[in-house]
Amino acid sequence: MSRLHHWALKTPQKSALIDLESGRTISFQTLDQRVQRAALWLRQQGLHSGDGILLLLENRPEIIELGLAARRAGLYFTPTSTHLTLPELAHIAKDCGAKMLFVSAQTAHIVEALLKMPGLSGLNVVCVGADPVGGLVGYESALAQVDETHTIPLCPLGRDMLYSSGTTGFPKGIRRPLVSAELRDQPETEVLNWQRSFGFDDQTIYLSPAPLYHAAPLRYVMRTVEVGGCAVLMKKFDAERALKAIEQYAVTHSQWVPTMFVRMLELPDLVRGQFNLSTMRVAIHAAAPCPVHVKQNLLDWWGDIVHEYYGGSEGFGVTAINSENWRTHPGSVGRATLGVIHIVGDEGEELPTGEIGKIYFSGGPKFEYWNDPKKTQDAYNDKGWATYGDMGYLDAEGYLYMADRRTDLILSGGVNVYPQEIENALSQHPMVQDVAVVGVPDEVFGQVPKAIVQLRDHDQAGEKMAHEIIEFCAQHLSKVKMPRSIVFEESLPRLETGKLLRRILKEKYQADPQAGHLIK
């Protein structure tokens, strides 16, 4: 018996999913019935165990419904960002071998062009929602015609097949083996560890303000439902609406990225103070570095309920830290909870405590990038340790501190300069809302740091503000780490997950290193 079906029998009228946008509530009984119909229908479309479906949908309950149906039918399912370019989407559709594509009225405009791309003309397209567009097959009408007297043959348990965010080159897929038919209804070790770490159970009410094509929000929502809890879905993050939802639905668990913390902390005290957040027991964050002062301010507001972790969709290593340990190790992303951490130098040597190098994990599960053996090989060193590509160091107690990705390192006059350290200093200035630092060419030093700053009030941008920010930074940074120029932009390129698209800024300003206000 599937875990969803178990809860549908035990608590049929309890809410499993709540769509914050529409206020629609889906009970466990209704969700289970729809998942069963969808799983039967997918099988009746000729899909077999190991086949895949692709979901190009904004945040909506059908992503979870179709994901659970794919699991029940022994299929891979791939939710993907609605902001992808046509070449990126075509690459994913071909790479994952999707047999069906699910779109909505909001995303259906890309279908005609997508089907003209090489190798995709035979992709079956289905439109979710009450009113299918463009003559596409309607998901609701298809479900209504399913013959429920049929059964799904015993098959493996399906899985998500997710893709990297594509900050460099095309996104890369991570495809894990399906769970065998014999073990499909057994608790998964990964899920049991997650439950123990964060206390998810059938009393959980989980707020998900992040995009469901991202690994953690997708998996946490699906797991919440499968352990009998209720998940509240936001179509798009809004700081005040998120706080209101915590009070309205008595939210107990939530997950965020640091940019969301910043937006909520920016709300006026009168706005923040009007919401009762006392039901929330666990707030989780990851995905991007969180400046120390931002997290400290959040802890002062929310209390010691904040948990942070570091890992990736590849799943070979994880670190975690709670609020109490973070207060004594500010800036750390915690100690290893999966795998053993090694800090490795340029020559492959393991570095001692306190020295920055590339972060590797040993002892974790093996993984492969789908259809990309070269990238898989590059993720492992000669000892069989695996890396996400990030830099950092360990302290004497084994707590990990992040520096940057290796590709973002600035080599200035023979000195390694880490953009994150500069960004952390700049972000403490009261006028700075967001900031990124990239290395740009310099005739004397080879490279120098350039800061790209988003101000809280863009009208204040100018040479005076640039020098004010630099003077502020001088209290926190050595001379070699100081930005040599500042550019003001109205906004920085970030994914919905909060991840900075540094590549875009690098390309722009490495081609124009003199842009902005030069600091003498």
What is the per-residue pLDDT across 311-351, written as a single tens digit (0 to 9) for each?
988 889 999 999 999 999 999 999 999 999 999 998 999 99
pLDDT at 49 over 90: yes
Domain with CATH 3.40.50.980 in the chain: 28-184
Query: Which pLDDT does position 406 carry in this prediction?
Result: 66
pLDDT at 414 over 80: no
Burial profile 138-161: b = 16 or more Cβ within 10 angstroms, e = fewer? bbeebbeebeeeeeeeebbbbbbb
Query: Which pLDDT does position 276 carry in this prediction?
Result: 97
> How large a percentage of the chain has pLDDT more than 90?
66
pLDDT at 166 over 60: no
- 292 contacts 331 by C-beta, under 8 angstroms: yes
Element housing 299 (H / E): helix 292-302
- DSSP character string of 161-180: -EE---SSSS--EE-PPPBP
Query: Which pLDDT does position 148 carry in this prediction?
Result: 83
- 339 contacts 316 by C-beta, under 8 angstroms: yes
pLDDT at 268 over 60: yes
pLDDT at 168 over 60: no
> How large a percentage of the chain has pLDDT more than 70?
98
Which neighbouring-strand residues pair with 485? 450, 518
Query: Which pLDDT does position 413 carry in this prediction?
Result: 66
Higher-pLDDT residue of 448, 165:
448
381 Cβ contact partners less than 8 Å away, ≥ 6 residues apart: 344, 348, 360, 387
Residue 169: pLDDT band with limits 50, 70, 90: low
371 Cβ contact partners less than 8 Å away, ≥ 6 residues apart: 95, 173
pLDDT at 303 over 90: yes
Query: Which pLDDT does position 443 carry in this prediction?
Result: 75
Name the pairing type of β-strands 446-455 and 432-442: antiparallel
* Helical ranges in 45-146 per DSSP H: 61-73, 86-95, 111-115, 139-144
Query: Which pLDDT does position 456 carry in this prediction?
Result: 92
Query: Which pLDDT does position 516 carry in this prediction?
Result: 82
**Residue with structure tokens 């794919």?**
70
DSSP 3-state helix, strand, coil percentages of the chain (rounded to 5)?
Answer: 35, 25, 40
| Class of CATH domain 409-518 | alpha beta
Mean pLDDT for 162-177 is 77
pLDDT at 167 over 60: no
Burial profile 443-467: b = 16 or more Cβ within 10 angstroms, e = fewer? eebebbbbbbbbbeeeeebeeebbe
Task: Give residue-wise pLDDT tens across range 25-44.
Answer: 999 999 999 999 999 999 99
Mean pLDDT for 131-149 is 89
pTM of the model: 0.84
pLDDT at 206 over 80: yes
Domain with CATH 3.30.300.30 in the chain: 409-518
Task: Give residue-wise pLDDT tens across range 458-510.
Answer: 999 999 999 999 889 888 887 878 898 899 999 998 877 777 888 888 889 88
Query: Which pLDDT does position 30 carry in this prediction?
Result: 98
Work out the burial of residue 247: count CB atoms within 10 Å of its CB; fewer than 13 is exposed, 13-18 middle, 19 or more buried. middle
- 359 contacts 394 by C-beta, under 8 angstroms: no
CATH fold of 28-184: Rossmann fold (3.40.50)
